[in-house]
Amino acid sequence: MKTATAATTYTPEQVYARIVTFKALNQAHKEVKPDDYSPTPSKRRAFDQQGHAFRSILTALTNGVQEQEEIAAQQRDLIKDRATLDAARKYFCTELLHVHRKIHDPRRAQDRVILLKISITAIDRGAVSHGNLGPAIGAPLADYLREHGTEWDRLYGCLPQIERRLIELEQRLAAVHARIHDAMQFGVPELVTLG
């Protein structure tokens, strides 16, 4: 087994190989009937401790792999949301710069400017509250999201919320890697004999 540091990230193949090994050891351990051997109390205790260790390592590894997969899926969704909002923000800022050239009616141009600013604010800070109307993201953003196959409610939130959530997921992933690392440090032991 290679010497690992705290920063070691094991490949999925290495972790799955260790899971298979510990599943086999756990199964072999379950098949032993201690009462058939009349073990001494110390051998029985060692046997029971080994069974507990097998189950603990197996649980840590399988839960770690599952949590890694869940975090990766959440990260993919958040990165997609961030890209969508980044693109929308750039699009609206460009439109804001050119709105008076495209719309010649000053009242309509001013209305469009207000809606674009509401959309940009929603991207930067979250939905804007409009008194009795409740939170609003602005028609341009709602239309943009609909055109790109999503809705504001499906997004995790505004850009700062997405960034905070990505940081939280990175921290959670680091903790998962540490737990997997700790579980991978156990060598593959011989089964405790009872006879």
Inter-residue contact 160 to 136 (CB < 8 Å)? no
- Pair of tokens at residue 160: 């700062």
**pLDDT 10s digits, 88-133:** 999 999 999 999 899 999 999 999 999 999 999 999 998 876 666 5
pLDDT at 136: 75
Judge whether 192 lies within some domain.
Answer: no
Judge whether 6 lies within some domain.
Answer: no
Judge whether 1 lies within some domain.
Answer: no
pLDDT at 2: 44
Judge whether 3 lies within some domain.
Answer: no
Report how far residue 102's alpha carbon sits from residue 98's, in angstroms, rounded to the nearest whole number.
7
The residue length of the chain stands at 195
pLDDT at 15: 92
Q: How far is CA 74 from CA 6, 124, 166, in A?
A: 24, 21, 9
CA 107 to chain centre: 46
- Pair of tokens at residue 13: 């193949």
* Count: domains in the chain: 1
Residue range 48-68: average pLDDT? Answer: 92
Judge whether 195 lies within some domain.
Answer: no
Inter-residue contact 128 to 121 (CB < 8 Å)? yes
Judge whether 194 lies within some domain.
Answer: no
Domain limits at 27? 12-184
Residue range 79-91: average pLDDT? Answer: 95
Judge whether 67 lies within some domain.
Answer: yes
**pLDDT 10s digits, 132-190:** 655 678 889 989 999 998 888 878 889 999 999 999 999 999 999 999 999 998 877 77
Judge whether 88 lies within some domain.
Answer: yes
Phi-psi region of 181 (alpha: psi -120 to 50; beta: other; left: phi over 0): alpha
